[in-house]
Amino acid sequence: MNLHRKPIPVEEAVQRVMEHKPQQKSEEVRLEDSYGRILAEDIKATHAVPPFNKSPYDGFAIRAADTAKASKESPVGFVVTETVAAGHRASRALESGEAVRIMTGAEIPEGATCVAMFEICQTEEKANATYMSIKRSMEDGQNIIERGSETEEGEVLVCKGEIINPGIQAVLATFGYAKVQVYQQPRVGVFATGTELLDIDQPLEPGKIRNSNAYMVLAQIERSGAEPVYFGKLADDFDTCYEAVRQALSEVDILITTGGVSVGDYDLMPDIYEKLGADVLFNKIAMRPGSVTTVAALGQQLLFGLSGNPSACYVGYELYTHPFIQAYLGNQRVYHNVIDAELGADFPKPNPFTRFVRGFVRYEEGKVCVYPAGIDKSAVVTSLAHSNVLIVLRGGTRGYQQGDAVRAILLEDTKGTESFQLYSS
């Protein structure tokens, strides 16, 4: 066991993880099952929008040329030949002197060159026929939304790698994507380690605590859009542990363990990595919390050894596991957004290493403010409950004051970003 691990910077650790390119697989899902999944194909306009010349108003479709001499003093008259509602079309082409009553969204009849809104037309019923007259001249194309004016056929509207939201679902429906190719969700296995851990339905025992990290990580995996698989607690015994990890690796794409990565007497993970022949990418990072976060690669699979401390475990997951899962998912923007923000409260602790403080965001008069969660009480899991950002406090500082410019990692923003930049520059 190497007691003198050399810490590497956070950015380097992220880079070492992301150098591993997972093999994306896609599958076809029904449109109605696609919400929240990630597109594995570009979505193209399968037809022009609108697919035909259409009317933006209720009115009369006519030939503009017929109105050339219309004025208040000498209105021009038309015979109304038929009515076209949205979804229907005229029975024949329109000729000079004819008008077709047309509803919003309906197709412009062949031969018509403009639409006169109801408001400017006078109608009259006479001898079982309807007549319309107009007192002003119209222009060709007036009140006509032209075929293809919004979207041309073949245009790429949404690129693969986008998360399907309600608007994208509307695009898919518009263009007849009854089924759509999305990336498969990786299966992410979770083991908890630690003899002090009780199952959640066990009564509290002297010296023991309940296993909270595993459930937290399962929810984090779900929030990342992957499929969590819980394998329970790892036993105390090395051989049993090793066998359990080896078996789990055959069932999942990514494996997470919580605890067991420190340098304590009972930390098994380093030896398991060694026996598996996994390549340890790093086992010490210049960050707080989570400095012992360890990642190992075994072929295409990554093993994330997260800390047993809840807040270190949380931070380690979001910094290293989340983007790797996004790469698996085919997300175009794999990283959490890191934004500039104003610190909403003092954080007097000095930071020899870069610190990630759980916190929440507030938007105040056009500014983005971030507040440490539960700074006055130290119950870690409770403050995690109220967090939606990680406030980034640069290492080598003597603490921060309210109003200081800081960076913050947005944990619930679905947009993400293509490159990871912890600091503005």
Residue 201 touching its own copies (CB under 8 A)? yes
- Positions 369 through 388 that interact with its own copies (CB under 8 A): 377-388
CA–CA distance, 105 with 86 (Å, rounded to integer): 5
- Positions 392 through 411 that interact with its own copies (CB under 8 A): 405
Q: Which long-range contacts (CB under 8 A, 24 or more apart) does 230-236 make?
A: 230/189, 230/190, 231/189, 231/190, 231/191, 232/191, 232/192, 233/191, 233/192, 233/193, 233/194, 233/197, 233/199, 234/191, 234/192, 234/193, 234/260, 234/268, 236/195, 236/266
Of 49 and 134, the one with the shorter C-beta distance to its own copies is 49
Taking the alpha carbons at both ends of the chain, their separation in whole angstroms is: 37
Task: Kindly state the smallest distance separating residue 215's Cβ from its own copies, in Å.
Answer: 4
CA–CA distance, 293 with 272 (Å, rounded to integer): 15
Of 19 and 32, the one with the shorter C-beta distance to its own copies is 32
> To 5 degrees, how large is the angle CA 226–CA 15–CA 39?
35
- Positions 15 through 34 that interact with its own copies (CB under 8 A): 31-32
Among the listed residues 168, 234, 248, 302, the single contact to its own copies using CB under 8 A: 168
Options 1-9, 15-23, 307-315, 391-399: segment touching its own copies (CB under 8 A): 307-315
Options 11-19, 132-140, 190-198, 320-328: segment touching its own copies (CB under 8 A): 190-198
Specify the 3-state DSSP secondary structure of 81. strand
Task: Kindly state the smallest distance separating residue 326's Cβ from its own copies, in Å.
Answer: 16
Residue 340 touching its own copies (CB under 8 A)? yes
DSSP code per residue over 339-394: EEEEE-S-B-S-BSSEEEEEEEEEEETTEEEEEETTSSS--HHHHHHT-SEEEEE-
Task: Kindly state the smallest distance separating residue 187's Cβ from its own copies, in Å.
Answer: 15
Among the listed residues 15, 91, 104, 240, the single contact to its own copies using CB under 8 A: 104
Options 13-21, 60-68, 148-156, 286-294: segment touching its own copies (CB under 8 A): 148-156
Residue 235 touching its own copies (CB under 8 A)? no
- Positions 246 through 305 that interact with its own copies (CB under 8 A): 262, 264-266
Residue 334 touching its own copies (CB under 8 A)? no
